[in-house]
Structure 1
Amino acid sequence: MRGFTVIWLGQLVSMLGTGMTNFALSFYIFEQTGQASALTIAIFCFVAPSIILSPLAGALVDRWNRKVVIIMTDLAAGIVTLVWLTIVLTNGNLEMWQIYLGNIITGAFNAMQFPAFSAAVSLMIPKEQFARAAGMLDFAGAASNILAPAFAGALLGTFGLVPIMLVDVITFLFAILAVLVVHMPQPAAEMIPEGNKRPSLREDSLFGFKYIRERPSLLGLQFVFTALNFISAFGAIIATPMILARTGNSAASLATVQSIAAFGGVAGGLIMSTWGGPKRKVQGVLLGMSAENLLGPIVIGLAKAVPGWAAGSFMSQLFIPIINGSNQAIWQSKVPPAIQGRVFATRRMIAQISFPVAVLIAGPLADKVFEPAMSSDGWAAAIFGPIVGTGAGAGMSLMILLSGIVGVVIGLVGYSIPALRDVEDIMPDFDALTAPIVNNEPAIQSQGE
């Protein structure tokens, strides 16, 4: 675990810088435009290429040295932030299109980071530690989120974007250094059918779809995440503009809620890293989804002030490391390391493909439908006003509440399906297989590319 711990520390520091920049840019965009749509477009520009390019990214990860890929993705994100910093120093501000373009570039490289990092970790630690490692990573993200909003909020009002972006660039360099000094084992050469050549890049890009499609339990598990990510986006993306709208653009209120939410993530990460999750990991995934939505978005939607938003955000973030860690442990133990790049990239695409669609819909839906409907004289104010209030931000609160209710149902329905509930029994661990099989044919070891 020593090598993983070094990389984990690098990620912790890097996440702090990234979190500060994300907080500052979110506030900057909403302050400049006053619209939730502009913020959701910025998020879409990052998420869309990250998801769309996932199959190609996974194929490249399995062909290239995973250590080099991780360094390359961190370096690309650092360069984008450095360019933004230069523009701010030169022109005094950032145009929206510059933020969007930077997010597109960063998102494209980010498509490789998740499969590369996940596949590398699978060979650095024993499988019994998979869930704990995922909990440590969630802890790192949450711990940095406690400090990021506070630091960024303190710096933004007085000094603007410059010192925040400068810190971000330095933290990227720290993360790259941590990866450089650690040995990352590469998987054994991939097994391919006897007499066949290595598949083309196009075939490798499609391999993950075929692998998951032939395993209905894994496919069903990802479809549950697809549905949940779609509906959760309406709540998660709208939470920031909702808080700003209901507090008169108070950066302090937003920072308070996000920091307390991060404490929930820290608690969840600590629980997961020490406990390791339930014995039946699928319970942590599906039942965890229902619990997270019941105690998170539903509470946030019903609340009308910082204490309620903070409580719901804390509980939501508390469950996320348990959900993600349990899910990660299932996949890392079932999928052979040599193909994890392709399979994990496809897995990510299936689970998150609905997210950018929801992001594009959420902003206009909030600005054009829910907010007018929940104004003091809106058509829905009489019905839902006693529940979520009326006026600025009330329509977005209603969106968050509804997303939480549907999220609870999604988790319970998923757990009621035997093929999903019993995935850990149906799918054998990859190291329990007596012989490697590719496309149900005998396999031989590939000799290089």
Structure 2
Amino acid sequence: MNKAKNLNTFLILWIGITLSTIGSQMTNFAVTLWAWEATEKATPLALILFFTQTPRIIASLFAGVIVDSWNRKYLMMLGDSVSAISTVIILGLFLTNNLQIWHLYLTGAINGLFSYFQDLAFSTSMTMIVPKEHYTRATVMEDYLTYSGGEILAPFLATFIYYQFNLKGVLIIDLLTFLCAIFTVIIVKVPQPQATVNHRESIYNKLTFGFRYIFSHPSLLSLLLFLLSANFVSNIAWGIFPAMILARSNNSGEILAYVQGAMGLGGVIGGIAFTFWGGFKNRVNGLLLGNILTEFSSCLIGLFKIPYLWMLSGFFMSFFAPLIGSSNQSIWLSKIDPSIQGRVFASRYFIAQVMSPLGLLISGFLADNFFEKNISYFSFLNPIFGNEEGAGMALQYALFSACGIIITLFFYRLSRLRNLEKILPDRY
């Protein structure tokens, strides 16, 4: 056990995940451009996110039992393998001129399902791989440096390759990155905790273990109710982000790439800063403050009309985001025993994210059928948002980002959440 707990295994896996993430982000960006060119509607873009997210929520109901019982290394390999097969299918449909929007919904759902098992297997292996003093740093690297680094490179690479070689060039690169990720998992040893799942136990008890554990700890439940509410309103805004930028920039993929690149840069710099700092001693304060600063920066994107101000606001939105995820993950890693993390983390994910697909589902609908069509009713806000294409989406984006701030302030008043660190001692 002690021999396994060094950063070498984590770093090798992290390199593979980072390469795979960059490839996936390139495909997601290119698919966004393709879907917008085909429809010029916000709803299809939001639905791609919806169909990717929803299977992850469903999987979280039973994935914890599987992750705590099965070989986590094989589950990581399975996630990348299925994603690679999906990429080959999309590539084949595109090359034969048969690719349609609904194909993206279907492959997104499949990828979302299996990538959840991969993500859960990796996150629950962190305690077995990484020394406790590096939990926050490793979480920042896994969740933010990986994603944000991809956000810097992927939009620019995807834009260049998409307009030079169309969608097939992006898909081929994505496929190669999946193969690299699978190789990195093959060459390392992923420690397995001692299984605590009682196979004679009823299926009901197995599936509900994580929920029962969380509900028996009111402070953890309060934390998840906060995340549930914050994620819901955040997704109503985030679901229309690409469409809003494209609509307000005369369909410029280059400007969208610059904005997302600035966001990626902010995430990398913020991730590096929080990696060296280590975060707040009271991690609940770090999580709540990080959400306020992130939502405030997000709100500014909707208020501004100028691309370089979108970039600046996006930079700070992503700069503060690592403070949220690293604080949250560090809390759960330190307070939950490794042998039950799969079941507890899966239930945690379900509770925190169960409303997110609904947010994505209504996001595009609200944009296309209410805010864009009825922007004239908000003429008193024309000096801020204007009345041209995309103004309604900007209003929706700013409004629900501001709701995220209000929700955070409300939950900070709950003593069982505010005092979570005192109520629950570290277990690991």
TM-score (norm 1): 0.92
Give the counterpart of 1:108 among 106, 109, 113. Answer: 113
Q: How far apart, in 2, do the equivalents of 1:284 and 1:240 lie? A: 28
Give 1:202 deviation, angstroms: 3.8
Q: Which amino acid aligns with 2:72?
A: R
Confirm or deny: 8 A CA contact 1:142 1:266 kept in the other structure: yes
Question: What is the aligned length?
Answer: 421
The amino acid of 2:338's aligned partner reads P
Which residue does the alignment assign to 1:415? Answer: 412
Q: What is the CA distance between 1:201 and its match in structure 2?
A: 3.9
**Aligned pairs for 1:118-137 within 5 A:** 118-137=123-142
Partner of 1:363: 364
Spell out the pairing of 1:218-297 with structure 2 (5 A cutoff): 218-294=220-296, 296-297=297-298
Pairing of 1:28-427 with structure 2 (within 5 A): 28-89=34-95, 91-92=96-97, 94-137=99-142, 138-190=144-196, 198-294=200-296, 296-374=297-375, 378-380=376-378, 382-427=379-424
Distance change in 2, residues 1:210/1:27 (3 Å): same
* Contact 2:140/2:271, CA 8 A, preserved across alignment: yes
RMSD: 1.3
CA contact (8 A) 1:334 1:430 kept: yes
Contact 1:135/1:268, CA 8 A, preserved across alignment? no
Q: Give the corresponding residue for 1:447.
A: none
Match of 2:4 in 1: none
Q: CA deviation at 1:140?
A: 1.5
Task: Please state whether the residue corresponding to 2:227 is helix, strand or coil.
Answer: helix
Deviation of residue 319 (structure 1)?
Answer: 1.1
Q: Deviations over 1:337-386 (max 9, x none)?
A: 11111111111111111110011101010001001122xxx221x22112
User: What is the identity, as a one-letter code, of the residue corresponding to 1:379?
Assistant: Y
Give the TM-score normalised by structure 2: 0.96
| Matched AA of 2:107 | G
Structure 2: state its 5+ residue gaps.
1-6
Contact 2:69 2:197 in 1 (8 A): no
Which amino acid letter does the alignment assign opposite residue 245 of structure 1?
A
Mapped partners of 1:427, 1:163: distance in 2: 50
CA contact (8 A) 1:85 1:165 kept: yes
1:204–1:108 distance in 2 versus 1, CA, 3 Å: same
Give the Cα separation in 2 of the matches to 1:133 and 1:351: 22
Measure, in 2, the Cα distance between the counterparts of 1:234 and 1:39: 13
Residue 377 of structure 2 aligns to a residue whose secondary structure is coil
How far 1:191 moved relative to its partner? 7.5
Percentage identity across paired residues of the two chains: 39
- Residue 390 (structure 1) shift: 1.3
Structure 1: 5+ residue stretches without partners: 432-449
User: What corresponds to 2:27 in structure 1?
Assistant: 21
Deviation at 1:270, TM superposition (A): 0.6
Q: 1:316 is matched by which residue type in structure 2?
A: M
**SS of corresponding position for 2:319:** helix
Alpha-carbon offset, residue 170 of structure 1? 0.7
